[in-house]
Amino acid sequence: STQEKTPQICVVGSGPAGFYTAQHLLKQHPQAHVDIYEKQPVPFGLVRFGVAPDHPEVKNVINTFTQTAHSGRCAFWGNVEVGRDVTVPELREAYHAVVLSYGAEDHRALEIPGEELPGVCSARAFVGWYNGLPENRELEPDLSYDTAVILGQGNVALDVARILLTPPEHLERTDITKAALGVLRQSRVKTVWLVGRRGPLQVAFTIKVPRPRKRLTELLLRTATEKPGPEEAARRASASRAWGLRFFRSPQQVLPSPDGRRAAGVRLAVTRLEGVGEATRAVPTGDMEDLPCGLVLSSVGYKSRPVDPSVPFDSKLGVIPNVEGRVMDVPGLYCSGWVKRGPTGVIATTMTDSFLTGQMLLQDLKAGLLPSGPRPGYAAIQALLSSRGVRPVSFSDWEKLDAEEVARGQGTGKPREKLVDPQEMLRLLGH
């Protein structure tokens, strides 16, 4: 059949999930054509807007994604927000199959009193700010207080603590935004606490070694209990900044300053663990502790949003209900990445997961489960977008923006100075 010959497939989202899904489809099917739609004018999702600026090696995956985008059977269409500029039913009409890989764009709320006070912000917004995510570029967190409390103990919490405590001169040659660097240079933050409900055996950090849990526990124990050598002891004594983990503490309230105008601390309930194995839970002991601070960053997780009323969504788990990437009850619709599994796991996890979704789609194609007959693909969507005044950004457009960013970084020894204003990006492209 025609669809067996030239399946037209579209992927929504250009983070690791979108690109790895596309890569698998293009590699495993010699004729498949894949269009990737992205709401930002620029590609790569959290590789650009999440991964910390001082971890440049993690961003090397961009080279692989770029190769995929250069395939003659792949196209990137940025500046197109699915659910707003084009609907999922319209995409399903135009393509043989649609893969939703749009990640997790929201943050989980703490759901405690005082959360709305100035001085409280989500780690997600803070990360977006220092990485130049357009919607967070004007965040300007107030770093004029000496203590910051991060609620949560996952990898994102660690990234945020590190950025707050790293001497700004060590960030000068990264792709952190100029504005963020300016604010960090003025920072008075000296102490950062990372607060977790559970204990050292349950923290959600990951490390890059086999048997990570055992190794992580050993590392934590050694750091906490071993007496440092003379050099290390001297270094610690002279350090102007410090951080610490506070275990078995569950946030109850953000405490207001005396005038009620901003956050001045966090009230924590002391917890202990009950139950064993997977069923272990942190329960309050009844004791309370107040931790004074001027900045509260909530880092209790990212969360996916529903994209379109026609797509099933599990709002409790914050994922699209699916079986191995096949969206439940909607033939021809698939999902991969954080919107499929929930917002956990590193890029490598997302890769494995996306390859699996690609495999399921190709199995269905082979079994004749996808619509037969030709589909128009981008031609149909382009007409819709143009009638709605939406001008997509192609991959070669992105490469112009990329070159501009690299050029702007050169003077100051940065790998790039990110463009943070979508209007400016579109202007540079003559849109």
Using CB under 6 A, list all residues that contact ligand FAD: 12-18, 37-40, 45-46, 50-51, 55, 58, 81-83, 101-103, 105, 127, 156, 159, 302, 307, 337-338, 345-347, 350
CB of 88 to ligand FAD, least distance (A): 9
Q: 258-261 long-range CB contacts below 8 Å, 24 or more apart?
A: 261/117, 261/118
CB of 315 to ligand FAD, least distance (A): 16
Among 380, 340, 424, which residue's Cα sits nearest to residue 93?
380
Choice between 123 and 362, CB closer to ligand FAD: 123
Choice between 22 and 82, CB closer to ligand FAD: 82
CB of 366 to ligand FAD, least distance (A): 25
Choice between 36 and 195, CB closer to ligand FAD: 36
Choice between 7 and 45, CB closer to ligand FAD: 45
CB of 431 to ligand FAD, least distance (A): 18
d(CA 131, CA 47): 10
Residue 359 backbone zone (phi > 0: left; psi -120 to 50: alpha; other: beta): alpha
CB of 35 to ligand FAD, least distance (A): 12
Residue 270 tokens, joined: 């002391």
Return the DSSP state at 389.
T
Choice between 81 and 424, CB closer to ligand FAD: 81
Contact between residue 253 and residue 113 where contact means Cβ atoms under 8 Å apart: yes
Contact between residue 273 and residue 131 where contact means Cβ atoms under 8 Å apart: no
CB of 9 to ligand FAD, least distance (A): 15
Return the DSSP state at 277.
G
* DSSP of 129-157: HHTT-GGGTT------SSEEEEE--BHHH
Choice between 97 and 269, CB closer to ligand FAD: 97
Choice between 16 and 422, CB closer to ligand FAD: 16
Contact between residue 251 and residue 151 where contact means Cβ atoms under 8 Å apart: yes
Q: What are phi and psi of 371, to 5 degrees?
A: -55, 140
Contact between residue 262 and residue 292 where contact means Cβ atoms under 8 Å apart: no
Contact between residue 347 and residue 16 where contact means Cβ atoms under 8 Å apart: yes
Identify the helix (H) or strand (E) that includes residue 9.
Answer: strand 8-12
Q: Which amino acid is at 230?
A: P
Choice between 68 and 350, CB closer to ligand FAD: 350
CB of 207 to ligand FAD, least distance (A): 11
CB of 103 to ligand FAD, least distance (A): 3
